[in-house]
């Protein structure tokens, strides 16, 4: 009876107190649901591991949450798509440097029968105005993600104070891109999505692309190493190796090579100044 108890206590102690193996070859990357749900990481990371032997563990959250995770030191690298938030992150000293990696664009998804009458338009701001004017159902991510921040910026550009102008037509769900698309499909509503997730999304029902191609829908991704001075546990060599690979010609070519049904999802632009 006593030996059993001692063994049990020992096992418990081992499980709880043994620290994670210190320098195993892995990093934690806080990224967004759009990069996960589009399948990009499933494609890229094995290539990276093959090249460097480094395992990348991806936590997929909204941009806001991903940057918070990085801020807390629970990730080594942040890979998100909200430039303003990223620059703020650097400014407060939480990150070392922001590197542009790739872009895709947002598309406005909507029901086939187009209640707001905007289908085929290339003017996203006008489309937003029409949606609000007609009270057409609209699903918002509501989760401080890059997509959500882009959506809020567009409302602003349309001159609409969405906080006060929203009515029952505006469905703020507080979830990731996949969940938002599911909800929009079920509600037959408009939703702003990144093209990558849309292409790989399987539950479309009656949704189609309503508006695309507007320059304002440009969606830039950046990667940042978490500041090791703030969080000594950050694996800076491996983290930097990941960043360097992403922006290297090899990494950029890999990103370019990711296709679904023959369509390219993300466009590498690490060497474009000011991206």
Partner 1 sequence: MHDGSSALALVLGGDPALYAIVWLSLVVSVSATVFAAAFGLPLGALLALSHFPGRTAVIVVMNAFMGLPPVVVGLAVYLLLSRAGPLGSLGLLFTPRAMIIAQTLLVLPIIAALTRQTVEDFWAEYRDELTAMRIAPLARVATLLWDARFSLVTTLLAGFGRAAAEVGTVMIVGGNINGFTRVMTTTIALETSKGDLPLAIGLGLFLISLIVLVNAAAWGVRRAGEVRAG
**Residues in 24-83 that interact with partner 1 by CB under 8 A:** 28, 33, 36-37, 41-42, 57-60, 71-74
Window of 151-159, 169-177, 217-225, 247-255 that interacts with partner 1 by CB under 8 A: 169-177
114 membership: H or E segment, kind and range: none
Q: What is the DSSP string of 72-103?
A: TTS-SEEEE--HHHHHHHHHTTSEEEEEEEEE
Window of 13-21, 93-101, 103-111, 145-153 that interacts with partner 1 by CB under 8 A: 13-21
Answer yes or no whether residue 1 interacts with partner 1 by CB under 8 A.
yes
**Residues in 195-224 that interact with partner 1 by CB under 8 A:** 200-204
Answer yes or no whether residue 178 interacts with partner 1 by CB under 8 A.
yes
CB of 139 to partner 1, least distance (A): 13
3: helix, coil or strand?
helix
Residue 191 β-bridge partners:
109, 139
Q: For residues 259 and 246, what is the distance between their CA atoms, to the nearest angstrom?
A: 17
Which has the closest alpha carbon to 194: 173, 171, 172, 220? 220
* C-alpha 228, offset from chain centre: 23
Rank residues 197 and 219 by Cβ distance to partner 1 and give the closer one: 197
Rank residues 17 and 164 by Cβ distance to partner 1 and give the closer one: 17
Answer yes or no whether residue 181 interacts with partner 1 by CB under 8 A.
yes
Which has the closest alpha carbon to 214: 134, 122, 135? 122
Answer yes or no whether residue 176 interacts with partner 1 by CB under 8 A.
yes
Which has the closest alpha carbon to 238: 1, 90, 91, 24? 24
Count of residues near partner 1 by CB under 8 A:
38
Enumerate binding residues for partner 1 (CB under 8 A): 1, 8, 12, 15-17, 19-20, 22, 28, 33, 36-37, 41-42, 57-60, 71-74, 175-179, 181-182, 185, 200-204, 231, 233
């Amino acid at each position: 009876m006593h030996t059993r108890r001692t063994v049990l206590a020992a096992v418990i102690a081992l499980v709880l107190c043994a620290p994670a193996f210190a320098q195993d070859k892995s990093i934690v990357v806080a990224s967004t649901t759009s990069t996960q749900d589009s399948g990009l990481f499933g494609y890229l990371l094995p290539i990276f591991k093959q090249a460097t032997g480094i395992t990348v563990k991806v936590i997929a959250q909204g941009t806001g949450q991903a940057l918070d995770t990085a801020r807390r030191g629970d990730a080594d690298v942040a890979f998100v798509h909200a430039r303003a938030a990223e620059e703020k992150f650097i400014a407060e000293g939480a990150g070392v440097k922001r590197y542009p990696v790739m872009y895709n664009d947002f598309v406005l998804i909507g029901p086939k029968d187009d209640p707001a009458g905007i289908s085929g338009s290339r003017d996203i701001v006008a489309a937003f105005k029409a949606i609000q004017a007609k009270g057409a159902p609209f699903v918002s991510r509501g989760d401080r993600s890059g997509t959500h921040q882009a959506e809020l910026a567009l409302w602003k550009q349309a001159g609409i104070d969405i906080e006060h102008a929203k009515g029952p037509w505006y469905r703020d769900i507080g979830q990731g891109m996949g969940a938002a698309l599911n909800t929009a499909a079920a509600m037959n509503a408009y939703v702003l999505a990144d093209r990558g997730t849309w292409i790989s999304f399987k539950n479309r029902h009656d949704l189609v692309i309503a508006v695309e191609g507007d320059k304002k829908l440009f969606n830039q991704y950046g990667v940042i190493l978490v500041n090791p001075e703030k969080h000594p546990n950050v694996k800076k060599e491996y983290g930097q190796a990941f960043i360097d690979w992403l922006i290297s010609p090899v990494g950029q070519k890999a990103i370019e090579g990711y296709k679904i049904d023959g369509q390219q999802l993300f466009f590498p632009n690490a060497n474009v100044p000011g991206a």
